[in-house]
Amino acid sequence: QVQLLESGGGLVQAGGSLRLSCAASGRTFSRGSVGWFRHAPGKEREFVAAILWSTSRNVYADSEKGRFTISRDNAKNTVYLQMNSLKPEETAVYYCASKYEYGLYGSGDLYDDWGRGTQVTVSA
C-alpha cells in the first residue's frame, strides 16, 4: 500500500496560483502513476491531471490545459500540481491518488490508494 499526503492548499484570490504537493511513501510504485482529483460539495469528483512516474508523460482535463502543470520528483517521491489563473469554481478538496500499474487514467475508480486531501478555496 502507498501512503499519500497532500499539502499546499489554502485560500487564494481568483487569478492567483497555488502549488500542491503529494508526498508518497510505502510500496514502491515506480511503474505506476499518480493522479490529482478534486471534489466540491454537491458535485461529482473530477479528474484534474495524472503523471507517470517512469517517463513524466502526463494528461490533463480539458479545462486545466495551459493553466495547470503536473510534475514529479522521483528522488523525493513527490508529485506536484502547479495551478495558475485559478477560478472560484475550482474551489474544492484536492486529492492525489496512486495507481500501481503503468498507465494514465482519468477515472478515480481505477486508482489504488488515496490521500486525505487538501482544501483549495478560490475567492471571487
Q: With contact defined as beta carbons under 8 Å apart, do 62 and 47 qualify?
A: no
Predicted local confidence at residue 29, as pLDDT: 61
Residue pLDDT, tens place only, 3-35: 999 999 999 999 999 999 999 988 766 679 999
Residue pLDDT, tens place only, 43-80: 999 999 999 988 889 999 998 889 999 999 988 999 99
Burial degree of 20 (CB within 10 A; 0-12, 13-18, 19+): buried
- Over 90: is that where the pLDDT of 2 sits? no
39 by DSSP, 3-state: which?
strand
Cell of 111: 486508482
Q: With contact defined as beta carbons under 8 Å apart, do 122 and 88 qualify?
A: yes
Strand 10-13 vs strand 118-123: parallel, antiparallel, or unpaired? parallel
